[in-house]
Each structure stands twice: as structure tokens, then as C-alpha cells.
Chain A
Amino acid sequence: MNEKSKKNRENKLVTWIRNYSYSIIAMIVVIVLWELAVKVFDVKEYILPAPSQVLRKLTGNLSLLFRYSLVTGWEILLGYLLSIIVGIPMGLMIFYSRFLERVIYPFLVASQTIPKIAIAPLLIIWFGWGIWPKIIVSFLIAFFPIVVDTVVGLKNTEPEMIYLVRSMGADRSQIFFKISLPNALPNIFGALKVASTLAVVGAVVGEFVASDEGLGYLLVVSHGYMDTTLMFAGILFLSLLGIIFFFIIEIIERLALPWKTEKESVLHSATM
């Protein structure tokens, strides 16, 4: 169990290949079976296009897909950043003040029980056709787990740990910066990963309701033309966007929390 400290780069690479080779093989097998199934059963392209057809469509519309990915990616990024900027301080406020907890809590619950799709048209009325409604929907979906996990992370500091540092003469800021905050980081990063995937959903929902560019818009339009193959290409790019966001957070997490084992990280992301 206890891995020796001398983990060199080569060793890591071998581990990585061993860990992921099955996933990669499984992926390839599914794609091949999909291709074969479409060919053998002669499935119509507008119902289920073969991977090869999707690839052809994709290469044919590459510049469009990239341009729209940039638009949607920008919306996701801004919505996501907003949810972090609001979510973490809100978690801190709830943790440190019973009064603020009582004030914030009803709004927090309300923001999660109201379906975001239902208020998206309202946001269009208020904020117009531009990027803001998408950012706000994305933010509304993504910030909640960040608030909750920040509070949970801060609360799970052991009382004895606090006693221990108080007997060393620790003041409130030392308790926060040296104990509570680092202790909450694994929870916060867990939430940041969940939120990164939710931010993608939010941006697409925003685009569904009203937009003239972006991958969500592409899905609506290609649906209108019954261009299922283009829809698949759009979905593929959307999931790539999600994966990129997810892994950026994962990398930041590993840099910020080097004491966590790789095994833990892999397990963690596997539960997503």
C-alpha cells in the first residue's frame, strides 16, 4: 500500500499507462462496435450517424466548431469564475456568522429550487441577447456546490485540532489560514470540479433560450435542419470543453494539494 518515496518520472508514466490503458481500449472498442452496428443494420444517418460520418462532418466544419467553442468556452469560464468569486466568500460568511447564515440560507435554497431553464427567458428580458444571460445561468447552476462544500470543508476541522493550536496561543487568523482553510481545500476542490461540469450545462441552457452563436446555438440550429451528424459534432466539442475545464482544475488541485495521493485523486474524479 504505502508507496516508497522514490517515484521517478518513468515510474509515473508506467503507472499512468497501466491506469488508463483499459479506459482507452474500452473507448476504442465502443467506437468500433458503433461503426459496425450502423453499417450492419443500415441505420439512417439522421437517426444515428456512424463515428466516421461524424468525423467527416467535424473536419468539414472545423473553423465553425472552433469559433463557437470559443464563444461557449468564454461564457463557461466567466460563469464559472463568477460562481467561485461569489461561492467561496459566501461559504465563509455562512461558516463564520450564524446571522449571515440565516439571512443567506433562504436565498440559497430558492436559487436552487427554481429551475434555471424557467428563469432563463426572464434573464433575456433583463440582460438582453448578449453574453450576460448565459453567464448568469451558468453561475446560478455552478455556485451552489461551491458554497455548500466550502462550509462542509470548514466545518470538518477537528475540534481537538483547534484546541491544540489554541494551547499554542493561536489567534483566529492563524486558526483559519493554518488549519481550517487548508483542511477545507480538498472539499473545495471537489466542489470546483463538480461546478466546472455544471457551468458547461448552464452556458448551453442559456444559449438554447436565446443566442446567435455558440455550441448550444449550433445544436438548436442543426436540430432544426435535422442535421444529426452536426449535432454529434457539436456535442463532442461540448464534452471536450467540459473535459478541458475539468482537467485544468484537476491539475491546479494537484499543484495545490501535493500531499494527496494520486490514487485518491483518480478515485475522486472517477466518482464524478
Chain B
Amino acid sequence: MPAQTLIKIENVSKTYTTSKEDIVALQTVNLEIKEAEFVSLVGPSGCGKSTLLMLISGLYPATTGVITIKGEPVTKPYTNLGIVFQRDMLLDWRNVLDNVLLQIEIRRLNRADYEPHARELLERVGLGNFTDRYPRELSGGMRQRVSICRALLHEPPLLLMDEPFGALDAITRDQMNLDLERIWEQSRKTVIFVTHSVPEAIFLSDRILVMSPRPGRIVANIEINLPRPRTLDIRDLPEFSDYNRQIRKIFREQGILIDELGKDKEGLGQSPSSEVDY
């Protein structure tokens, strides 16, 4: 039973024009993403992972090439999706429930129709008792959960996540990975997930696309055949380590990771401190 293609990316490139120079962020990307597929994009900082996500969402125009979603070319912001950024983008002046319901308000849908679903989503991520709190009262992990609920509220078939857990501590991050895995098992949305963390990508994905340093290209396409539903223990499986090793090898070939001291290349963010884009 071959799954339907949801997103088709053909010869897409993106060049940013500044007053000084043209920066090629993305160079000729060809890609297909199937329905209900969980795809991760990994690569060094500035390789155009986020740019690709923004192109798919229609929020940035592509310089060349065509992106189609369900056969329709993307020419303006595509709205049948949910987006989660690294920063939670909650509105300080709205409580948790109203932040989630922003999705409905902007779409001019009936709030009462969606409020039970919003409460249920919050309940599912352990925030059932926090619906009337303001964002400042929540921890980073809780805030990001709210922003995920907001992205899921209108039940979009497509979820774009741009390093959603990049700002969280390791333990919270593990928990969020588990939560996301569980949500995905239940809803089977198409997810495109940008991350710097290879283990995170292996843990969550059906397929990992490895990108080269700028100008970004897709240099590897790795199917992850690990059983689902997944638990954190799959990280101890030998297959998991094999995938990890395989991707590390690609990073070395691309000059993203360098083993010998003194041969470091500038501007390639392999150290944790340079992983934060903001």
C-alpha cells in the first residue's frame, strides 16, 4: 500500500539578496514527502533547514522551482498546517487556553466548537490544570507544549516543526520527544521536523534528510526502520547506534564534524554553543 505523496519539491532553490551580496541558502532541492510520514531535516547551523520549512509553508517565496502540496502549487502562505518554532511564540496577554484558541480566532472559526478539543489536547500533555495560567507562570517545556497544542488544534494534516525542543534541557527534551511520538502515533500527521540533534531525529523519524553546509543541499536520505511505538530504550538498540554512526560519517564527509584539532572550519556550527540560532 504505497502512501500518497503530500508534498513535492522540484528544483527549489532560495537566494537571499542583501545590499552586499547574494546568499544562496538552498541549492536545487528535489524531494517528495508522503502522507503520514515523519521526516527530519538535520544539518549544521545555517544550512537552510529552516529556510526549506518556510518555503514549504509558503511564507517565503522560492527563488526557483515549484513546491506543490496535494498537487496544488504553493504561492501564498499555506494555511492547512500547524507550525511550531523553537521559541514558543505564546502571547503574554493570553492565558494558556486562549493562546491555544488563537488558532481558531485567526481562522474566524467558532470558538465554542473547538474549546473542548483545546482542553482535551492540553489535558493530554499534562496541562489540564493550567488552562487559565498566563505563559509567564509556566516553565519552558510547558510553554512549548502549549504551542504544540495550538499547532494541533485545527487538526491539520501537516505539521512543521523548526527545532521545537532546541531551547529545552535534556530531560525535558526526552519527555517532549516521547510526547510527540505518542501524539504522532495517535494522529499520523505528516511532520517535517528540523533539528540539530541526530539522536532526536532517529528517535522520531521515518526518514532523515541530511543537509550540507551552505549552500544547503540534501546529501543523504536515510530510512529509519525502527519499531513503533518507540520508547527511549530504542536508543540502546544496535540499529540505533548504526544510524547514528552512519549520519556522523556523512557529517565528517561534509566537513561538518572534524576529528583532528586545528583543521576546524569556520562557521560550521558543530559545537553545542553555536546551535542556538537566536
Contacts and interface: CB of A to CB of B under 8 A. Distances in A.
12 contacts: A160-B89, A161-B91, A166-B59, A166-B77, A167-B59, A167-B78, A168-B107, A169-B77, A178-B105, A179-B91, A183-B91, A257-B93
Given A5-B137, A163-B59, A259-B136, A169 B87 contact: no
A169 B137 contact: no
Interface in B79-100: 79, 81, 83, 85, 87, 89, 91-94
Given A161-B89, A166-B77, A169-B77, 7 more contacts: A163-B57, A164-B83, A168-B102, A169-B107, A182-B93, A183-B91, A259-B92
A170 to B, nearest CB: 5
A171 to B, nearest CB: 9
The 5 closest A-B pairs by CB, nearest first: A168-B106, A169-B79, A259-B93, A170-B106, A166-B77
Given A160-B87, A161-B89, A178-B105, A261 B79 contact: no
Contacts, number: 57
Given A178-B102, A259-B136, A167 B89 contact: no
A168 B107 CA distance: 6
A168 B54 CA distance: 14
Interface in B225-265: none
B137 A2 contact: yes
Given A2-B137, A5-B133, A158 B87 contact: yes
Interface string A45-75: 0000000000000000000000000000000
Nearest to B94: A259
A239 interface: no
B114 interface: no
A169 B156 CA distance: 13
Contact residues on B (Cβ < 8 Å of other chain), bracket = 20 to 34
Contact of B83 (A2, A158, A167, A174): A167
Nearest to A257: B93
Q: Label chain B's interface by main secondary structure.
A: loop
A167 B57 contact: yes
A185 B91 CA distance: 13
B190 interface: no
Contacts of B107: 168-169
Interface residues of A, number: 23
Interface of B: 54, 57-59, 77-79, 81, 83, 85, 87, 89, 91-94, 102-103, 105-107, 132-134, 136-137
Interface of A: 2, 5, 158, 160-161, 163-170, 174, 178-179, 182-183, 185, 257, 259-261
A186 to B, nearest CB: 9
B136 A261 contact: yes
A176 B87 CA distance: 21
Nearest to B160: A167
Contacts of A178: 102, 105-106
A259 B57 contact: no
Nearest to B60: A163
Contacts of B91: 161, 179, 182-183
B103 A168 contact: yes
Contacts of B77: 166-167, 169
Nearest to B133: A5
Nearest to B151: A164
Contacts of A5: 132-133, 137
Contacts of B137: 2, 5
B237 to A, nearest CB: 36
B106 A174 contact: yes
B85 A160 contact: yes
Contacts of B106: 165, 168-170, 174, 178
A179 B94 CA distance: 11
